[in-house]
Structure 1
Amino acid sequence: MLRGFLLTACLGLSLIARSQPDLIQQIQQAYQANAYDRHIELTKRLLTVSRHPHYLYQLAESYAGNRQPTEALAFLRELADKQLPYAISANPKFESLRANPAFATLAQRFSANARPVQRSQRAATLTDSTLIPEGIALDPATGDTYLSSLFQNKIVHYSSGHEYNFTAQRQDGLYATLGMKINPATQELWVCSAADRGPDKGKSGLFRYQLSSGKLIKKYLVSNQQATHLFNDLVIGPSSEVYLTDSEAGRVYVLKDGADTLARFTDANFIYPNGIAIDAAGKHLFIADFRGLHRLDLPSGRMVSISDGGRTYLTGIDGLYYTEGTLLAIQDSGHQDDRIVRFRLDADQQNVVNAEVLQTTHPDFETPTTGCLYKNAFYYIANSQLRKITSDGKLSDPASLKRPIIMRLNL
């Protein structure tokens, strides 16, 4: 995977590497060397922070290689319970388990989990294959679409089958653009932007635009002198306050309506926070980070971690949205099958009581990132193509790039 935020802003596996770099390197070295005891020991340390499926699966492989079938099957069972798809029968690392009847049962469960769920349709296809979009917003009044560009450092306006520059490249000092939201009450577009290279690396800004004219109203910047920053995603509260995640600094900020500067919203620390949502009553924020999902009470900022109940996984979430008592998430599993999933919470909004996969294994998928709700449907970027951006900010294989696709999923 690529280094730098252009990928780590969106992919759960990369978040791990950024948050625990030394441990991850040691884990991968032990895994590649088939040093089973060492790999098991190191990975169990990581699991105290996050039970990411990628590392659970590798741990099962090492236990199988170490002739510890009880432990290997336990981790495979956990992954099957979480609705993940793995072709374990084709994996030679599980050779020692093939005669075990429990292994055959698990293989059938994984195969059932792998059945594609197809509920999305193409809503729009843009022309510029080098856009590399990350954020999307739809104007609730017109249905016009706005896309942020990681590669071109700009914002695109799509309307009636045509795309236009809402901003030019690097206009107003824009860095790479990420999460976006429209405030329908003020008809303003809010955009997260961050720099990943050169002297500006670690700087970020929140940009505020007039939707009708594209004019910059104000920008709220943070420097890289005291810490590195990556403004990743945002949500707008009922009083037009803006909450945003700072992935590099591990923080959540708030910009109160009428304020001139950003303020840290809570003393709680996160490990690479990404997606952020707010409930309909404006009482709770929901934050996705490397460890999973968390609920922040407003206005106290007190944090509670949400339990997956053993029925799903809550890591690898990029886009996150609240609707009708549920959370919609665009999620990377560490497997090849990205998915759109709806988590239903209990009355206290502390536990997932149901996880419904709405879309997975779509042929148009190439690192879906974020989406937005519009007229009882969920619109999202199907193929951001983030992996085509190299660590030095170039495109690795421009000829292979596809036109950006926006999908619609009726709810």
Structure 2
Amino acid sequence: MLRYIFLAILTLVAGNSFNPVSGQKAYKAIVANATRELIPEGIAVDARSGRIYVGSMSQHKIVVIDSTGKSKDFAYVNDSLPGYTDISGLKIDAHSGLLWAVSTYIEGRSYTAQLNAFDLLTGVLKEQFTVKDGARHIFNDLILDPVRRRIYLTDTPFGAVYVVDPAMGSITILVKDSLTAYPNGIALSGDRWLYIATYSHGLLRFDLMTKKLAPLPGYQNSEMAFNLDGLAYKDHLLYGVYNSAAHKRDNALIQYRLNAEDTSIVSENIIDIGNPIFRKPTTLSLVGSRIYLLAVTNIDEFNANHNSISGIENQLMPVTILVYK
């Protein structure tokens, strides 16, 4: 059974919470120096440096937390423009020394969806791919394909998955289908299977070789399978974050064990459910034997306040990351 651990890069605060699944204790791991108003959605952890990168939905920026637990501004996206910038999924390309981040700039009814690449050390913008054609586009999450050197990303309201080829400087639709309505998290198994979490048809698998799309069969709990946010894959295990429970106590971190071919689910395990720390958990990052879960985001409060933190500052909880081993 996975268990919670506390790392020195996070700040321990008073008060433990009981893990209802494993019976072990969980620690509140609050991001040092990160304001409650950050409203984070995406997280990425650099395996080499231990740095944690977190994007903001409210402040046009990405912050980085170093090995001492201190956080500072890392990069800004559209900060000089008057509209609202939603920074969502983050992924690290250690080979190229880049942090890839999806964002959407919204001004009135105009939507500009972007994939940004920042230098991992300096935060300097190195590349940017943009979709703006009059439709409602919101880039949500992404995954890197180290074999093909491409990036796949989900566009939730447009109901599509895009593919970016940095070498060619291109961004094109990989798949847009009735099955891919409202896609969210995305994960990759080797050089073949792309997994997509959708709010319309649950978990999907897309064959990068044959270009065939199909539901991923074998799940037990359809409510969770159709309401997953972040996804991550490692060694025939697919991890998902469920955050759409009518009662927040039912939000969960789930592990799906796949068959040897990675084509279907053979078992389903709830790692953590009903953790009192959870406040709209969203995405996770797998590094070695650890899972970093963005457990407190305050997104529900932010959305209910019309994408604003004005007037609700006292309702927000400190940004919190839970680390599982």
Among 250, 265, 271, the residue aligned to 1:352? 265
- Structure 1: gaps (5+ residues): 1-114
Alpha-carbon separation, structure 1, partners of 2:215 and 2:162: 19
SS where residue 166 of structure 1 aligns? strand
Shift of 1:286: 0.2
2:32 maps to 126
In 1: Cα distance, 2:123 partner to 2:41 partner:
19
Rounded Cα–Cα distance in structure 2 between residues aligned with 1:317 and 1:366: 15
- Equivalent residue, structure 1, for 2:90: 180
Find the counterpart in structure 2 of residue 154 from structure 1.
61
Question: Retained in 1: the 8 A contact 2:219–2:225?
Answer: no
The residue number in structure 2 matching 1:366 is: 279
Match status 1:249 vs 2:131: no
Is 1:402 aligned to residue 282 of structure 2?
Answer: no
Quick check: which one's helix share is greater?
A: 1
2:227 counterpart of 1:316: yes
What TM-score results when the alignment is normalised by the length of structure 2?
A: 0.84
Shift of 1:333: 4.7
More strand, by proportion: 2
**Paired residues of 1:251 and 1:268 also in contact (CA < 8 A):** yes
Q: 1:208 aligns with which of 117, 121, 126?
A: 117
Please say if 1:385 is aligned against 2:298.
Answer: yes
What's the counterpart of residue 286 of structure 1?
A: 195
Match of 1:304 in 2: 214
Q: How is 1:39-188 mapped onto 2 (pairs within 5 angstroms)?
A: 116-118=20-22, 120-127=26-33, 128-159=35-66, 160-168=68-76, 170-171=78-79, 175-188=85-98
AA of the residue aligned to 2:235: E
Q: Where does structure 2 lack aligned partners over 5 or more consecutive residues?
A: 1-18
Cα 1:257–1:409 change in 2 (3 A) is same
Partner of 1:97: none
CA contact (8 A) 2:58 2:85 kept: no
Local SS of the residue matching 1:203: strand
Q: What number of residue pairs does the alignment pair up? A: 293
| 1:197 Cα offset (Å) | 4.5
1:308 CA displacement: 3.2
Aligned-pair identity (%): 28
Give 2:239's aligned amino acid.
Answer: L
Q: How far is the alpha carbon of 1:203 from its aligned partner?
A: 1.9
Alpha-carbon distance in structure 1 between the residues aligned to 2:202 and 2:140: 16
Distance between the aligned counterparts of 2:231 and 2:59, measured in 1? 24
**What is the deviation of 1:140?**
1.4
Q: Offset of 1:170 from its aligned partner?
A: 3.1
Say which is worse superposed, 141-150 or 250-259, in terms of deviation. Answer: 250-259
Please say if residues 121 and 409 of structure 1, whose CA atoms lie closer than 8 Å, have aligned partners that are also in contact.
Answer: no
Q: SS of the residue aligned with 2:37?
A: coil
CA RMSD in angstroms comes to 2.0
CA distances 1:355-376 after superposition (whole Å, capped 9, x unpaired): 1111111121100000101120
Shift in CA distance, 354/205, structure 1 to aligned 2, threshold 3 Å: same
Q: Which residue of 1 aligns with 2:7?
A: none
**Aligned: 1:235 with 2:165:** no
| Inter-partner Cα distance in structure 2 for 1:382 and 1:311 | 21
- Distance in 2 between the 1:371 and 1:340 partners? 9
Is the CA contact 2:30–2:318 (under 8 Å) kept in the aligned structure 1?
no
Structure 1 range deviating more: 142-151 or 299-308? 299-308
Relative to structure 1, the CA distance from residue 284 to residue 125 in structure 2 (aligned partners, 3 Å threshold; closer, same or farther) is: same
Tell me, in whole angstroms, the C-alpha distance in 2 between the residues paired with 1:121 and 1:194. Answer: 33
Deviation digits for residues 340-395 of structure 1 (CA, Å, limit 9, x no counterpart)? 01001223433321111111111211000001011201001111110121453322
CA deviations over 1:315-351 (Å, ceiling 9, x no partner):
1100000011010000135332110010012234333
Asked whether the equivalents of residues 266 and 302 of structure 1 are also in contact (C-alpha less than 8 Å), the reply is no
How far apart, CA to CA, are the structure 2 residues paired with 1:400 and 1:199?
28
Residues 210-261 of structure 1, C-alpha deviations (whole Å, 9 max, x = no match): 1111110111111142x21010000000233100001011000111241212
Evaluate the alpha carbon distance shift between residue 166 and residue 310 of structure 1 in structure 2; reply closer, same or farther with a 3 A threshold: closer
CA contact (8 A) 2:42 2:283 kept: yes
More deviation in 252-261 or 342-351?
Answer: 342-351
- Counterparts of 2:282 and 2:234 in 1: how far apart (Å)? 18
Measure, in 2, the Cα distance between the counterparts of 1:183 and 1:229. 24
TM-score normalised over the length of structure 1: 0.67
Partner of 2:8: none
What are the superposed Cα offsets for residues 102-139 of structure 1, whole Å, 9 maximum, x if unpaired?
Answer: xxxxxxxxxxxxx9225654444333010011000111
- Indicate conservation of the 8 Å contact 2:255/2:270, yes or no: yes
Deviation at 1:169, TM superposition (A): 6.2
In structure 2, relative to structure 1, the CA distance for the partners of 1:307 and 1:252 (3 Å cut) is same
1:126 alignment partner AA:
A
